[in-house]
Structure 1
Amino acid sequence: MNEVAPLHVLVVEDHGPLRTQVVALLRDAGHAVEEASDGRLALQMALEQPPDVLVLDLGLPGLDGVQLCRALRESASVHVPVLMLTARDSLDDKAQGFAAGADDYLVKPFAGEELLWRCRALSRRHRLGQPHVLVLGALRLDRTRGRAERADRSLDLTPIAYQLLLHLAQAWPRVVTRSELVRSVWGDEPPESDALRSHLYLLRQALDKPFGTPMLKTVHGVGYTLELPRA
């Protein structure tokens, strides 16, 4: 951990022993850590001094994790990367978290080292302190509200299709492998069926079908990338 700059991490967890464990883990790795056990207090802290990463439990008093994340996206002036830390591991629960604006998901119980590298990855991925809106040519992604537009036309995306598009946009112009896309949505527990294919199809229907030039490009044998039309 010494080779990277320390992060400012806000840990929001109402289970005292687990919160203490996570805080100690992050501090031992050299990070500056604040903690909260109540959703309303955590939202106030995050808005007053946005952390580099917010580690957020789903079940909280005051505001639950989904409510807190949604309120943060609506009110914060910068994009705060949110790692949801929860025992709820169903696809529906993950979809709700991503729809509220979460950036990553870690299911309890988890390995401490995995939490550390996910925090590091989130801090790099979101280029700390940058505005919510990500613009690539005619594509506009509002990370506060989980909305996307192309050529000023709103895209009707499912939560998972939006998450895939956001990951591709943040990685642009790099080609993203299938395994990376799967990991960005389902973490280390991918579904048994080839769900990625279905969600990429839905993404193409919304992102490309209404327009003359496709943006989602398949790089055979490698993965996927976004191609920006010249016009």
Structure 2
Amino acid sequence: MRVLLVEDDRALAQGIRVALRGEGYTLDWVADGAEAEHALQCERFDLVLLDLGLPRRDGLAVLRSMRSQAQGNVPVLILTARDAVADRVAGLDAGADDYLVKPVDLDELKARIRALLRRCQGRAQPRLEYAGVSLDPATQQVSYQGTPVTVTPMEYQLLHQLLARPGVVVTRERLSNALYGWQESGPGNTLEVLIHNLRKKLHSGLIRTVRGVGYLVEQQP
């Protein structure tokens, strides 16, 4: 899952980046509101972590602008030192899905992110299950027919992207962005190699290639 972190405190941003990358998220970081608006207009994200006291453009203004744009349904979790009830009300009324006051407990942050992603995908249960494959975002464990399967972090991210959208073709561009974000991408055949490995570790019919477009797991009847 690709996350945009909007935070002007470099030390805090670095701590969150390390924590979330360790959980298998691809995280892109900007340090002011104007950069955030530009990123949201040009890129696709699964979740936004948004500070309020930002240089150049306030976080609430970014949020209101975002809700009126193409990515208006992307979940937003506000991370801020503003702890007054009026500030929390203003943030939620502006369109935030959740509100967390700094200093941030990283375990709580991870749990809230998982809850928001479940909610936006229309799921109540944390575990993703499909055709005998089970993926647990809380532990990052994958199993097939009850047997644990060892996957690499990139294989896990790719499988998560596909299982979260059964029956929907996920484009190569979206998968690449989810794996790398603004980092330099890997070799041109990286997706094919990852898909091949997942088919081998799980089962060959799990992931279907839609030539020239991307990949999908078929929706079960």
Band the TM-score falls in, shorter-chain normalisation: 0.5 to 0.7
Distance 1:16 1:181, change over 3 A: same
Unaligned runs of 5+ in 2: 1-46, 83-87
What TM-score does the superposition give when structure 1 sets the normalisation length?
Answer: 0.50
Deviation at 1:12, TM superposition (A): 5.7
Aligned length in residues: 156
CA 1:34–1:193: 2 relative to 1, 3 Å: closer
Code of the aligned partner of 2:97: D
Aligned residue in 1 for 2:97: 52
Q: CA deviation at 1:193?
A: 2.0
Match of 1:94 in 2: none
Pair 1:23 & 2:60 matched? yes
CA–CA separation in structure 2 for the residues paired with 1:143 and 1:222: 27
Secondary structure of the corresponding residue to residue 204 of structure 1 = helix
Q: Percent identity?
A: 23
Tell me how large the CA RMSD over aligned residues is: 4.3
Which protein, 1 or 2, shows the higher relative CO under an 8 Å CA cutoff with sep ≥ 6? Answer: 2
Structure 1 pair 53–203 and aligned structure 2 pair: CA distance change class (3 A):
farther
1:168 aligned residue (145, 149, 162): 162
Structure 2 equivalent of residue 222 of structure 1: 213
Rounded Cα–Cα distance in structure 1 between residues aligned with 2:171 and 2:65: 33
Note the C-alpha offset of 1:226: 1.9
Q: Deviations over 1:173-204 (max 9, x none)?
A: 12222222112212355515223233333323
Residue 153 (structure 2) aligns with = 159
Looking at structure 1, the residues matched to 210 and 162 of structure 2 have their Cα atoms a distance apart, in angstroms, of: 13
C-alpha separation between the residues in 1 aligned to 2:127 and 2:116?
12
Map Cα deviations across residues 25-69 of structure 1 (whole Å, 9 max, x no partner): 11455699754249xxxxxx9xxx9x73689xxxx8665xxxx1x
Q: Following TM superposition, by how much is the alpha carbon of 1:206 offset from its aligned partner in structure 2, in angstroms? A: 2.3
Q: Measure how far apart 1:18 and its partner are.
A: 4.5
| TM superposition shift of 1:163 | 0.8
Alignment of 1:1-231 (within 5 A): 11=49, 13=51, 16-18=53-55, 21-29=58-66, 34-37=78-81, 52=97, 63=105, 68=106, 70-73=107-110, 79-81=115-117, 124=120, 126-127=121-122, 130-191=124-185, 193-194=187-188, 195-208=190-203, 214-227=205-218
TM-score of the aligned structures, taking structure 2 as reference length: 0.52
- Aligned 8 A contact 1:168 1:176 in 2: yes
- Distance in 2 (alpha carbons) for counterparts of 1:19 and 1:140: 44
The Cα offsets for residues 193-222 of structure 1, whole Å up to 9 and x where unpaired, read as 2232333333233223xxxx5312223333
Contact 1:204 1:216 in 2 (8 A): yes
Question: Which one-letter code corresponds to 1:22 in the other structure?
Answer: G
Sort the Cα spacing of 1:10 and 1:178 in 2 relative to 1 into closer, same or farther, 3 A. Answer: closer
Over 3 Å counting, the alpha-carbon distance change for 1:11 and 1:24 in structure 2 is farther
Distance 1:22 1:177, change over 3 A: same
1:20, distance to aligned residue in structure 2 (A): 6.9
